[in-house]
Amino acid sequence: MLPGTSPNATVLDSATRDRTRVLLLFSLAGRLRPRDTALGALVDRYDYGRFASHLMTSQDVLPVPVLDEQVAPRRLRLPHGDHGLGLASLRILVVATPRGDATLVVDCSFAGETTAGDLAAWLATTCFDRERIELDDRPLLQTLTEQLGRPLALGQNVHQLVFPGGRLQRELLSADEARKAILLNEIVYRGRMPWNPATPYDASLAPHLRNHGLTLSALGRGVSVQAGWAPHVENGLMLVAVGMVSALAVLQRTRLAAFAMMKANEQALTDSPTEIRSLISRLSAGVNELQLDLAFGVEAYVDSLLIPEMVMEAFQSSQRDALGIRDSLENSARMVERLTSVISARSAALDAELAERDERRDRTVSGLVAAATLIALPPTLLLAFFGVNGTNVDDHRSILDLRAYGTAYALAWLPFVVLVVIGYVLLRRISTRSGSLLPTPDDDAVPVPPPRPPSGSPRP
């Protein structure tokens, strides 16, 4: 049983938490291919209660922990101080999907009572100044890079899961709607959106709220407040949020990669078939990777198949809508599909151009062979004439003596000259013939009769 929770937390999905717990989820740039480690599967690192059986079935799809370290709370330092919130426990994990999309998870619980204002300031610091978070007086990612032996860099996406405890939890569950709205607005928007109860209700600004009495869920794009849930539900929500953050990072990377391939296709200036084929091969390989990313880096984490439970499905659906993942996925899929069409069209154009080039080459070779044959036949006939021991051949005369052998030269060359002239005239007639390749319209077409009036109506 985790500290700060009631004894019935392992039985019910709802529980009372004494200490506020916050999970910071940071997407990491680049690829971090998971390797076989002694950490095992993610389902072995946390208690998932009744959800564990679903996760055991799908553990090959789930992110894999590549680092899991329990850290002394005093080692973590924020750029603007702790805002009066001392940590009671700190756990740092780096998880990576089978496609290599990594997420940094910072699991914190606070030692004392937390107020909405202090918590909002703490969330704002850990989000907007996350590059300046330090561990042991050094940047957090620098320390983790040395431990993993692989470079790490923060991505663009952040999601912060807040599980209120103590007085803050009781206030959120029991306060009236106006007070609850003020508290949730401050936490979800990290104190950056002042609440004015006198203004009209704006669904685009208000957190997505579900209040079941014993539990409460309020969701924004970057912060989720989940109050009254048992630890195994909290861990399940964390897993869903990790999948969503990872999917959003994949969508952004896919969009940038698609634009890069489009530019590579447009800016390719080459007339070499080999280079064009190499370009098409690279683009096709890139599109295949994009399709795999969309299938196994996004679609695998945006539905309720991993944990088919109502609690998880409701949170997943709300977060998917808040992040706009469904629309982004459809748009990215269409972009990849059109990029595939462009690559296929370019490949077809290349094949047509190569076929035309081969046809021109074959015609040229055939023409050269025919010309060589045509040129070689008359000399062959003349050589045969001069080679025989005929009475018309005088050994004392040169074969170039046209007065003596003019008739032989004329008989050898004249038929071929006549054949060339006839062929040239026929080709000119074919190329300069008048008329259109399409049949002319028939001017004598029968006009269409006007429509008949309905039966029984008078004729005009």
Q: Per residue in 281-296, pLDDT tens?
A: 888 888 888 888 888 8
The overall average pLDDT reported for the chain is 80
What was the pLDDT predicted at 114?
93
Residue 85 phi/psi, 5-degree rounding, is -115, 105
What was the pLDDT predicted at 337?
87
Q: Is 400 helix (H, G, I), strand (E, B) or coil?
A: coil
What was the pLDDT predicted at 14?
87
What was the pLDDT predicted at 110?
95
Residue 138 phi/psi, 5-degree rounding, is -130, 155
Residue 5: pLDDT above 80?
Answer: no
Residue bearing the bigger pLDDT, 200 or 298: 298
For the chain, the residue count is 460
Residue 404: pLDDT above 70?
Answer: no
What was the pLDDT predicted at 385?
65
Residues with Cβ within 8 Å of residue 73, at least 6 apart in sequence: 86, 87, 88, 89, 90, 108, 111
What was the pLDDT predicted at 380?
72
Nearest Cα residue to 190 out of 131, 111, 104, 128:
128
Q: Report the pLDDT averaged over residues 231-257.
A: 90
Q: What count of Cα atoms within 13 Å lies in the side-chain half-sphere of residue 248?
A: 24
Residue 125: pLDDT above 90?
Answer: yes
The alpha carbon dihedral of 309, 313, 314, 315 has a sign of positive
Nearest Cα residue to 110 out of 165, 72, 189, 71:
165
Q: Compute how many other C-beta atoms are within 10 angstroms of the C-beta atom of residue 84.
A: 13
What was the pLDDT predicted at 25?
96
- As beta bridge partners, residue 216 has 211, 227
Percent of the chain with pLDDT over 90: 25
The alpha carbon dihedral of 412, 413, 416, 421 has a sign of negative
Q: How far, in Å, are 116, 186, 193, 200, 223 from residue 196 at the CA level?
A: 16, 11, 9, 9, 20
Residue 307: pLDDT above 90?
Answer: no
Beta strand pairing call for 102-110 and 87-96: antiparallel
What was the pLDDT predicted at 448?
52
Reported as type and span, the H/E element at residue 17 is none
Q: Compute how many other C-beta atoms are within 10 angstroms of the C-beta atom of residue 377.
A: 14
Question: Do 235 and 44 touch, CB atoms closer than 8 A?
Answer: no
Residue 301: pLDDT above 60?
Answer: yes
Residue 8: pLDDT above 50?
Answer: no
Nearest Cα residue to 165 out of 234, 219, 211:
234
What was the pLDDT predicted at 394?
58
Question: Do 229 and 215 touch, CB atoms closer than 8 A?
Answer: yes
Q: Report the pLDDT averaged over residues 168-174.
A: 91
